[in-house]
Chains A and B, each alone.
Chain A
Amino acid sequence: MSLDTNTNVVNKNEEFKPLIVAFCCNWCSYAGADLAGTSRLKYPANIKIIRVPCSCRVNINFVLRAFQNGADGVVIAGCHPGDCHYSTGNYHTRRRFSLITNLTEYIGVEKERFKVDWISAAEGNKFATVMNDILEDVYKLGPNKKLRDARWKI
């Protein structure tokens, strides 16, 4: 895929294959992804899962670097509030990423590209839905050109 950063137009001859990076907490959301897999639920192959000990391990650097290095959308998924395996991690996630969601939107990144959600180990269905939804949104938006590092090639 080639990007024309000046005109914001994707080369029409090449098909746009979005790349979504999903940071999933080890205890709930990653197990949710497993369940989606073993239940043979359909979710797109464009999702690259990165397993983290807890959703609060993810910081703004991870998200920005993912966007810079080729992601068109980023998801952060953790246990539902109250279910964190470290008791309080996702409460911190909730506050931090509330601010970061607004901050990235404030500098002009479309809010549909960046999602935070709670997915438990029993919610294989929800995992598939969340991933399908963001993929659909990102398809509509087209490739992420705003935060991409100009030096990065895929």
Chain B
Amino acid sequence: MENITKKIRAVAKQALIDKEVDKILGWKKGDLWSDSYPVFITKPEDTDTLIWDLFCINNLSKFLIKELTKHDKIGIFIKGCDSTSFNQLLKDNRINRDDVVLYGIPCEGMVDPEKVKKIMLNERVREIKKHENNFTLISKNKNIDVSGEEIKYDKCITCISPNPVVYDQLLSDEVENSKHSGDRFKRIEEIEAMSPDQRYNFWKGEFQRCIRCNACRDICPACSCVKCVFDNEDAEVSGKAKTEGEDTFFHLVRAYHVAGRCVDCGECARVCPAGIPLDLLNRKIIKDINEVYGEFNAGMDSTTPAPLVTFKLEDTDTFSKKGGK
């Protein structure tokens, strides 16, 4: 990781000196061991703050929409999931490929600080060391060895594209995809197996915690309409009442509006302050698309049309013969 950090700094510095780009989007370290957050750099001398570590989880691609209105050419560091997001923005005509220089970083998965805190309970974590796919959590009093599966983000355990699918320059060797082998549809199948009332109560319990902060909308690379249906007062779909019906309405409409374009980056669920597993809604749609219309992973390229903007004459459906399942 130190090597990649060095490369990131060198690449960014050179690009700014050569005026190849006028802004760099990357990550920098915050005050805590677990804080790595996005940073925008325009001066070559500031590039030494750039880093790459176990917490560079933020997807930087979506920032491009706004930043490209102010800058002509932007350099950006992208991991696998950021790269599929980037492709989605290209496909939705929100950005131009020519305005961006992509520095790809193959990704071995990011660490979820919440999972670490649960394992270390009241111990103050000082450092996390990585060896192969295992980690040592280090505090003042003890060291604990854990596996990657125990502390990585859920979305990283089931990641299907750890290597960037689009880039101009790759900063390290590709990682093996098999390291990320979890079954991404397991949880969905568990929910499908419940009775309708159980499912309803499960989702009701989740949805009712929603504070309608819109973080899930803001972070999502597929959620990029200039005018959002939820902001349209005339359409009477922007109800703000804190009732069960409105909560359900918001969540179904949000999930469905990105159907076929959701890249399964898991960012919506990660940023939700209420901990609502939004990925379980979106991934259900992905599963259904795969089953009914053939395997499709949004963001793998920037040209294949999304399943919901096209059709085949011989398509099947889920509502007639089998009656909805």
Q: How does the 8 Å CB contact mask read for A84-121 relative to B, with 1 for contact and 0 for none?
A: 00001001101111111111111111110011110000
Given A96-B308, A97-B319, A150-B245, A106-B229 contact (CB < 8 Å): no
Give chain A residues whose Cβ lies under 8 Å from the Cβ of B143.
none
Give the docked Cα–Cα distance between A35 and B257 (Å).
Answer: 36
Given A92-B311, A95-B315, A146-B200 contact (CB < 8 Å): yes
Give the docked Cα–Cα distance between A123 and B147 (Å).
Answer: 62
Shortest beta-carbon distance from B244 to chain A in Å: 6
Give the docked Cα–Cα distance between A106 and B243 (Å).
Answer: 20
Give the docked Cα–Cα distance between A92 and B313 (Å).
Answer: 10
Q: Is B135 an interface residue (CB 8 A)?
A: no
B315→A94 contact, CB < 8 A: yes
Q: How does the 8 Å CB contact mask read for A17-61 relative to B, with 1 for contact and 0 for none?
A: 000000000000000000000000000000000000000000011
Closest residue of chain A to B309, judged by CB? A92
**Among residues 183 to 232 in chain B, which have CB atoms less than 8 Å away from a CB atom of chain A?**
191-192, 196-204, 229
Given A92-B311, A95-B293, A115-B319, A105-B324 contact (CB < 8 Å): yes
Closest residue of chain A to B324, judged by CB? A111
Give chain A residues whose Cβ lies under 8 Å from the Cβ of B316.
98
A103→B319 contact, CB < 8 A: no
Question: Chain B: interface secondary structure?
Answer: helix
Q: Which of B201, B203, B281, B315 contacts A91 (CB 8 A)?
A: B315
Closest residue of chain A to B191, judged by CB? A106
Closest residue of chain B to A146, judged by CB? B200
B200→A107 contact, CB < 8 A: yes
B319→A98 contact, CB < 8 A: yes
Give the docked Cα–Cα distance between A146 and B203 (Å).
Answer: 11
Q: How does the 8 Å CB contact mask read for A53-79 relative to B, with 1 for contact and 0 for none?
A: 000000011001100100000000000
Give the docked Cα–Cα distance between A75 and B308 (Å).
Answer: 21
Given A97-B319, A99-B259, A116-B319, A150-B244 contact (CB < 8 Å): yes
Q: Is B255 an interface residue (CB 8 A)?
A: yes
Q: Is A136 an interface residue (CB 8 A)?
A: no
Closest residue of chain A to B237, judged by CB? A61
Shortest beta-carbon distance from A112 to chain B in Å: 8
Give chain A residues whose Cβ lies under 8 Å from the Cβ of B323.
111
Give chain B residues whose Cβ lies under 8 Å from the Cβ of A68.
245, 249
Q: Which of A61, A106, A148, A151 contacts B284 (CB 8 A)?
A: A106
A102→B311 contact, CB < 8 A: no
Give chain A residues whose Cβ lies under 8 Å from the Cβ of B237.
61, 65
Give chain A residues whose Cβ lies under 8 Å from the Cβ of B317.
94-95, 97-98, 116
Give the docked Cα–Cα distance between A98 and B229 (Å).
Answer: 22
Shortest beta-carbon distance from A153 to chain B in Å: 13
Give the docked Cα–Cα distance between A106 and B325 (Å).
Answer: 9
Closest residue of chain A to B280, judged by CB? A106
Given A61-B229, A88-B311, A91-B315, A107-B259 contact (CB < 8 Å): no
Q: Which of B199, B245, B292 contacts A108 (CB 8 A)?
A: B199
Closest residue of chain B to A100, judged by CB? B256
Give the docked Cα–Cα distance between A91 and B312 (Å).
Answer: 8
A108→B252 contact, CB < 8 A: no
Give chain A residues whose Cβ lies under 8 Å from the Cβ of B253.
60-61, 64
Closest residue of chain B to A108, judged by CB? B200
Given A102-B284, A106-B192, A108-B196, A94-B244 contact (CB < 8 Å): no
Give the docked Cα–Cα distance between A114 and B235 (Å).
Answer: 23
Closest residue of chain B to A62, judged by CB? B237
Give chain B residues whose Cβ lies under 8 Å from the Cβ of A122.
none
Q: Is A128 an interface residue (CB 8 A)?
A: no
Q: Is B121 an interface residue (CB 8 A)?
A: no
Give chain A residues whose Cβ lies under 8 Å from the Cβ of B203.
107-108
Q: Is B171 an interface residue (CB 8 A)?
A: no
A108→B229 contact, CB < 8 A: no
Using a CB–CB distance below 8 Å, which chain B residues touch chain A?
191-192, 196-204, 229, 235-237, 241, 243-246, 248-249, 252-253, 255-256, 259, 281, 284-285, 288-289, 292-293, 307-308, 311, 313, 315-320, 323-325
Q: What are 12 residue pairs bridging A and B, where the CB atoms are less than 8 Å apart in the complex?
A: A60-B252, A61-B229, A61-B253, A65-B237, A68-B245, A99-B288, A108-B196, A108-B203, A109-B200, A111-B324, A111-B325, A114-B324
Further pairs besides A102-B318, A107-B203, A149-B245: 13, Cβ < 8 Å: A65-B236, A68-B249, A95-B308, A98-B319, A99-B256, A99-B318, A103-B288, A107-B199, A107-B281, A109-B196, A109-B200, A111-B324, A114-B324
